[in-house]
Amino acid sequence: MPELPEVETTMSALQPFVEKKIVSVDIKNRNLRWKIEKDFENNISNKKIISITRRAKYIIFNMLDGFIILHLGMSGNIRIQDLKSNIYKKHDHIIFYLKDKKIIYNDIRRFGSIHFTHDLKDHFLIKNLGPEPLSKDFNKKYLFDISRKSKTNIKNFIMNQKVVVGVGNIYASEALFHAGINPNRTTNSISEDDCKRLVKSIKNILKVAIKMGGTTLKDFYSVDGSEGYFKIKLKVYGRENKKCRSCKGVISKIVLNQRSTFYCDNCQK
């Protein structure tokens, strides 16, 4: 699944289309995770894109009188084509026509979604989200205070979008490794010093991943078709039974909340 760095990479690649007008949109398949609203086309046709931003894992197209909310889901990706190009792929579900380009949304599994809203902050996908991990609001005190009553494991806790947004499975495993915290530890057992290390680790991991274009697994490619390169930096994720890169231990794999979780027993207490 594309995580925050991949979404940030996609959002950044779309910046040349700010101040461009969406002339029209062709919806080939309305049946994504949520069915696309019947008035979606009318709401965005002949409307200028004022800015393109990100909130959590959502790409936001800010229009003059509303917002397009796009989520890539498990396998969604966006590509750009010249307007005259007639090359299409299976699972191309939405085509935005601009003056000289096409923005195409492709999603094999159809777990992504796209919505139009006049009120972004009150939209059901946005209104209950936690702070951005790279913001000042996500800090040691915040994480420590909010963790006191939770008895879930710490990995599941930091993946909860109501706690902090955008920390998906890959980066949760990596951040916990760098912070020296076992993913199976009960959240309310985490100390204030643990929170300080974990917040710093999450911020550092995400910054490096964004800089390197995200992590390529099976489905993610950036808008220009290039792969992410953060995978060469992974310390634990996907490295079951391999030697730890920080000690002489071996990377273990367990399943927490139906998610593969990787860690080093020796480095993470």
- Select which of 57, 79, 155, 197 is catalytic: 57
pTM for this predicted structure: 0.86
CA distance 62 to 80: 19
Q: Using alpha carbons only, what angle is made at residue 125 by residues 120 and 126, rounded to the nearest 5 degrees?
A: 50
Q: What angle (nearest 5°) sits at the alpha carbon of residue 40, between those of residues 35 and 44?
A: 150
Q: Is 3 a catalytic residue?
A: yes
Q: Is 259 a catalytic residue?
A: yes
Q: Are strands 113-117 and 259-264 parallel, antiparallel or unpaired?
A: unpaired
Between CA 167 and CA 169 the distance in angstroms is 7
pLDDT tens series, the chain, 269 aa: 577 888 888 898 899 999 999 999 999 999 999 999 999 999 999 999 999 999 999 999 999 899 999 999 988 989 999 998 888 899 999 999 999 999 999 999 999 999 999 999 999 999 999 999 999 999 999 999 999 999 999 999 999 999 999 998 999 999 999 999 999 999 999 999 999 999 999 999 999 888 876 554 344 345 555 554 445 578 999 999 999 999 989 999 999 999 999 999 999 98
Neighbours of 41 (CB within 10 A): 15
Contact 182, 254 (CB under 8 A): no
Q: Which among 234, 230, 194 is positioned nearest to 213, based on CA atoms?
A: 230
Tell me whether residue 5 is one of the annotated catalytic residues. Answer: no
| Residue whose entry in the numeric block shows the structure tokens 């990995």 | 155
- Reply yes or no on whether 185 is catalytic: no
Catalytic residue among 2, 5, 133, 183: 2
